[in-house]
Amino acid sequence: MLDEHYQPTLLEPQVQKTWDDQQAFLTHDHVDGKEPFYCLSMFPYPSGKLHMGHVRNYTIGDVIARYQRMRGKNVLQPMGWDAFGLPAENAAMKHRVAPAAWTYRNIDEMRAQLKSLGLAIDWSRELTTCKPEYYRWEQWLFTRLFRKGIIYKKLGMVNWDPVDQTVLANEQVIDGRGWRSGALVEKREIPMYYFAITRYAEELLDGLDHMHGWPEQVKAMQRNWIGKSRGMEIIFSYVSEHSSDAEHLAGTLKVFTTRPDTLYGVSYIAVSAEHELAQMAAKHQPDLAAFIHECLQGSVAEADLATQEKKGMPTGRYVVHPLTGAHIPVWVGNYVLASYGEGAVMGVPAHDERDHAFAQRYNLPITPVILDREGQVPDVRSQAWTETGLLCNSGPLNGKNFDEAFAELSHKLASLQLGKERIQYRLRDWGISRQRYWGCPIPIIHCPSCGDVCVPDDQLPVVLPEHVIPDGSGSPLARMPDFHDCTCPQCGKAARRETDTMDTFVESSWYYARYTSPHEPSRLVNREAAGHWLPVDHYIGGIEHAILHLLYARFFHKLLRDEGLVEGDEPFERLLTQGMVLADTFYRQHADGQRSWYNPTEVTLERDERGRMVSARLRLDEQPVSHGGMEKMSKSRNNGVDPQLLIQSYGADTARLFMLFAAPPEASLEWNDAGVEGAQRFLRRLWKAVHHHTQPRALPEQALSSTAEELRRRTHETILKVSDDLERRLSFNTAIAACMDLLNQVQRMEPQSRADEQAVRESLTSLILLLAPMVPHISQTLWQHLGGTGLCMDAAWPQADTSLLVRSEVTLMIQVNGKIRGKITVAKESSKEDIETAALAQKDIARLIEGRHLKQSILVPGKLLSLVLEP
């Protein structure tokens, strides 16, 4: 018997127990006749508590996983922990507890929280990256890549805290000072290990063009990050007045430019403060030395460099123009990046804004060499003309356009051996050494005779001791002879183990592959399992990972491929980047300008009839607080709402439904209590409708009433709509809205006959199945009550009976990219969206479209639907 009232907090643990008892989420690699589907949500850092962003992420992933399962796929949805990282060390210092113990305790708490959400996760595949059985394979791969030269050592710049005598992570430097000591941070160069990701730059860039399952925005961000520029390197020889320097200098100065066509407009050369010429010249010029020192103090972030005031100082050195032979002064410029191109720029003030600002400040010549659109010499006194055009003031190149000038210059300079065409990437090699304790040890042994030697396979893993409590002063491993003293595997002499650990981005770069065979004892992955499951069919995570994590994971996939461990070029077929969760912020400002922030749960709101906030008062003292707008839920604004409280008071299904209904997945979601209550109300209504329907009543045997006929049509329309929303459009909010509509129809109908009752039953059963991926607990209970056997999550996804959709029908041709590919019969009054949905649901059309994006659709009513796909 179904209880009259919906009591989610009682029901949900029972349903979860049923799933557990039946091992419903356990995934086997091969299930006869079932296509594999790998659905992955980005794994969390075990900070201790689930936040709303996690709940949103994992709910979306779970809906996709459960939907695909009902579609008959063999679905893999794993979960794990990105368990190394700085917060564990900070917590360790604060609470005097070992990072390992803190991390493992957090994992236990968060696992329980995730389970309470009812996620269809195969927990038997759980991974924890701080465990030796995981990171040993990272170390193993490191040694392979080191031998291949894909990992190499060079000097890298770090933040050094002179008081704490320790290297600081960027986030530990606050306003240029160490976060604990308050000491002014210095830059230091130390040897570090690097992944040669730049060798894969071209492939990482080209791959994006074929990734139709990724949002355009994310691909654009990756393109910019890789930053490919086509240009030329041009060589300027030094004017050898300062012969002592000339001996040390290579004899030439190289620049990288994307605008060789402006070569005749060069009026100075600017080098970065780190450039060898700058260093050399500073030896004789104390004022230059002071300026260079000042430049090196500032931020190294490119954004800061771009916006700061352009400053410079002459070095007293000159170079020779490769074509005119003119002498050109060399300056040190604070806007020149040491790590881009050659760390040197040919200054063309007439055609580059930065150079223009610099030249104006220091009275350097501004000579236009590119004509404007009208073919006139542009007025560049107050502003640079930065577009391309025909050349002027450029000797033999006058009148040529960019391409002609480029070609001619590259020919000419090559013959003089003073330049050549070159591709430049903004992407840098990836430095992975961290002078931290809580990370994966780098498997290298430093031998006084043999140098850097890889730890041999039979000595892996290099286990990180777990009982250590760091104190903030340097790496504890460097003070543990038990850890670092060892013998050289090559010559047997006493040697020292590397005490740096790896960037935690390394662990998250390959976990997706390990999930396919998480307990494989003898290899990084089981090749067969990896071949079976990869690539990930759908990857879901926050937009904040659009660049680094996703780029590193793509890079790793290629590394694994080149090691013969996985197939294919890309790890993630389709990507969904969910938006942030926002909430209102409330504060009071104190006399000293400081603000105290109050949690939304401590504040009572008054709203007008249109829902606008009229007043906000702190519950504690009934006095007003100011509204600071909607912001991302965060500790600093104290506007986080704890998902656990939400689940405890409303149940997981309500929490899930609210998350899905409040906004499309890619948009940001604004938290509000009214929405939560609305979600709960809908589930109560659904419950009530099923309860009401299953009360025994005597009904005559009669034909279907016209309202019931209409209900059937609506039911099948809804099936079609929700299927498309869940599969193609990933539009969960509109899917839920369609279900809400259908429930309204059901509730309006009082059956007059057995046949009518049957129609209602069909609607309710369909509704429950359509909602099952989103609200799995209530669906399981109601479905069982309506006579379903087994688990609702294993029931087949409802199929729309298209013959029922037709009122008075018309047949339309379907065109794809201009060719007739099929036809479709639809109700005369169908909306364009409905016709499109129905057309896309046709097998033949779906096959044509697979993996591509619909760019446009044009409806010629009564005749034709034309679909235009993206190339």
- Catalog residues that contact Zn ion under the rule CB under 5 A: 447, 449-450, 488, 490-491
For 482-491, b/e burial (b = at least 16 CB within 10 A) is ebbebebbee
Burial class (CB in 10 A: 0-12, 13-18, 19+), 789: exposed
> Which pairing describes strands 854-860 and 864-869: parallel, antiparallel, or unpaired?
antiparallel
Q: Work out which of 351, 497, 514, 554 binds ligand ANZ, going by CB under 6 A.
A: 351
Q: Which residues contact 842 (CB under 8 A, 6 or more apart)?
A: 814, 822, 824
The item of Zn ion, ligand ANZ, none sharing an interface with residue 348, based on CB under 5 to 8 Å by kind, is ligand ANZ
- Pick the closer one to ligand ANZ by CB: 107 or 345: 345
733 binds, among ligand ANZ, Zn ion, none (CB under 5 to 8 A by kind): none
Task: Identify the three-state secondary structure at position 341.
Answer: coil
Question: If binding is defined by CB under 6 A, does position 364 make contact with ligand ANZ?
Answer: no
| Residue 218 in the binding site for ligand ANZ (CB under 6 A) | no
Which residue from 288, 292, 336, 782 is in contact with ligand ANZ, where contact means CB under 6 A?
Answer: 336
Partner from ligand ANZ, Zn ion, none contacting 118, C-beta within 5 to 8 A by type: none
Instruction: Report the candidate in 369, 379, 378 with the shortest Cα–Cα distance to residue 399.
Output: 369
Which partner, Zn ion, ligand ANZ, none, binds residue 352 by CB below 5 to 8 Å per kind? ligand ANZ
Q: State both tokens at 752.
A: 């007059």
Between β-strands 80-81 and 127-128, what pairing exists: parallel, antiparallel or unpaired? parallel
Q: Is 137 in the site for ligand ANZ (CB under 6 A)?
A: no
Q: Least distance in Å: CB of 181 to Zn ion?
A: 38
Assess 116 for contact with ligand ANZ (CB under 6 A).
no
Q: What are the residues facing 632 on neighbouring strands?
A: 582
Size of the site for ligand ANZ (CB under 6 A): 17
Residue 209 or 353 with smaller CB distance to ligand ANZ = 353
Angle formed at CA 667 by CA 665 and CA 670, multiple of 5 degrees: 100
How far apart CA 110 and CA 46 sit, in angstroms, is 7
Dist CA 695 CA 699 (whole Å): 12
Phi, psi (rounded to 5 degrees) for 793: -65, -15
Q: How far is the CB of 842 from ligand ANZ (least distance, A)?
A: 47
Q: Which is nearer to ligand ANZ, 330 or 488 (CB)?
A: 330
- Decide if residue 410 touches ligand ANZ (CB under 6 A): no
Q: Which three-class secondary structure state does DSSP give residue 728? A: helix
Work out how close the CB of 460 gets to Zn ion at its nearest, in angstroms, rounded to a whole number.
Answer: 18
Distances (CA, A) of 544 to 46, 218, 643, 822: 18, 10, 21, 42
* Least gap, CB of 486 to Zn ion (angstroms): 11
Q: Is 328 in the site for ligand ANZ (CB under 6 A)?
A: no
Considering beta carbons, is residue 273 or 814 the nearer one to ligand ANZ?
A: 273
C-alpha 661/C-alpha 678 separation (Å) is 10
Nearer to ligand ANZ, 423 or 494 (CB): 423
Name which of residues 248 to 277 contact ligand ANZ (CB under 6 A): 256-259, 262
Residue 491 interaction partner, one of ligand ANZ, Zn ion, none, beta carbon < 5-8 Å per kind? Zn ion
Residue with tokens 């030697």: 453
The rounded distance, in Å, linking the Cα atoms of 415 and 3 is: 89
Q: Which CB, 167 or 263, lies closer to ligand ANZ? A: 263
In the list 181, 229, 490, 752, the residue contacting ligand ANZ (rule: CB under 6 A) is: 229
Residue 488 to residue 451: CA distance in whole angstroms: 9
Which one of ligand ANZ, Zn ion, none interacts with residue 332, CB within 5 to 8 A by kind? none
Residue 351 or 436 with smaller CB distance to ligand ANZ: 351
CB distance 151 to 142 below 8 Å: yes
Q: Which is nearer to ligand ANZ, 400 or 728 (CB)?
A: 400
Does position 343 bind ligand ANZ by CB under 6 A?
Answer: yes
State the minimum distance, in angstroms, from the CB of residue 231 to ligand ANZ: 6
Among ligand ANZ, Zn ion, none, the one that 256 touches (CB under a kind-dependent 5 to 8 A) is: ligand ANZ
Q: How far is the CB of 727 from ligand ANZ (least distance, A)?
A: 41
Q: Is 655 in the site for ligand ANZ (CB under 6 A)?
A: no
Choose between 488 and 792: whose C-beta lies nearer to Zn ion: 488
> Comparing C-alpha atoms, which of 385, 353, 462, 408 is closest to residue 132?
462
CB-based burial label for 756 (10 Å; 0-12, 13-18, 19+): buried
Could you tell which of Zn ion, ligand ANZ, none binds residue 518, using a CB distance below 5 to 8 A set by kind?
none
Q: Which stretch binds ligand ANZ (CB under 6 A): 126-134, 341-349, 616-624, 702-710?
A: 341-349
- Min. distance of Cβ 555 from ligand ANZ in angstroms? 21
64 vs 46, 77, 539, 591, CA distance in Å?
A: 24, 10, 10, 51
Largest interatomic CA distance in the chain: 111
490 binds, among Zn ion, ligand ANZ, none (CB under 5 to 8 A by kind): Zn ion
Tracing tokens 């794990």 back to the chain, one arrives at: 80
What are the backbone angles phi and psi of residue 465, rounded to the nearest 5°?
-65, 135
Q: Which is nearer to Zn ion, 337 or 450 (CB)?
A: 450
Nearer to ligand ANZ, 333 or 476 (CB): 333
Q: Which candidate, 840, 55, 213, 67, places its Cα nearest to that of 537? A: 213
SS3 492: coil
**What residues from 421 to 440 belong to the interface with ligand ANZ (CB under 6 A)?**
424
Strand partners, 822: 814
Contact residues for ligand ANZ (CB under 6 A)? 229, 256-259, 262, 336-337, 340-341, 343, 345-346, 348, 351-352, 424
